Amino acid sequence: MTSYEASLNTEQVSSADALGDLPSAPAQRRALSTRLISALTLVSLVALWWAVTAFGLIEPLFLPPPSAVLQKGWLLATTGYMESTLWQHLGASLGRIGLALLIAVLTAIPVGIAIGRNRIAQGILDPLIEFYRPIPPLAYLPLIVIWCGIGELSKVLLIYLAIFAPIAIATATGVRTVDPAKLHAAQSLGATRSQLIRHVILPSALPDILTGVRIGLGVGWSTLVAAELIAATSGLGFMVQSAAQFLVTDVVILGILVIAVIAFALEMSLRALQRRLVPWHGQSH
List interacting residues with other proteins (CB under 8 A): 179, 181-182, 184-192, 195, 199-200, 203, 206, 278-280, 283-285
Q: How far is the CB of 179 from other proteins (least distance, A)?
A: 7
Q: How far is the CB of 109 from other proteins (least distance, A)?
A: 16
Q: How far is the CB of 177 from other proteins (least distance, A)?
A: 14
Q: How far is the CB of 202 from other proteins (least distance, A)?
A: 10
- The answer to whether 141 and 158 are in contact (CB under 8 A) is yes
Phi-psi region of 82 (alpha: psi -120 to 50; beta: other; left: phi over 0): left
Nearer to other proteins, 41 or 284 (CB): 284
At residue 81, the 3 state secondary structure works out as: strand
Q: How far is the CB of 228 from other proteins (least distance, A)?
A: 39
- The answer to whether 129 and 165 are in contact (CB under 8 A) is yes
At residue 84, the 3 state secondary structure works out as: strand
Nearer to other proteins, 90 or 205 (CB): 205
- The answer to whether 224 and 93 are in contact (CB under 8 A) is yes
- The dihedral sign for the CA sequence 40, 43, 46, 47: negative
At residue 63, the 3 state secondary structure works out as: coil
Nearer to other proteins, 29 or 198 (CB): 198
Q: How far is the CB of 7 from other proteins (least distance, A)?
A: 19
Nearer to other proteins, 183 or 226 (CB): 183
Nearer to other proteins, 56 or 276 (CB): 276
Nearer to other proteins, 177 or 192 (CB): 192
3-state SS, one letter per residue, for 173-212: HHHHCCCHHHHHHHHCCCCCHHHHHHHHHHHHHHHHHHHH
Report the DSSP beta bridge partners of residue 84. Answer: 81
Q: How far is the CB of 181 from other proteins (least distance, A)?
A: 4
Angle at which helices 152-176 and 86-117 cross, to 10°: 40
Reference 239, options 62, 64, 76; nearest CA is: 76
Using CA atoms, how far residue 146 sits from 76, 96, 229, in Å, is: 33, 19, 17
Nearer to other proteins, 79 or 283 (CB): 283
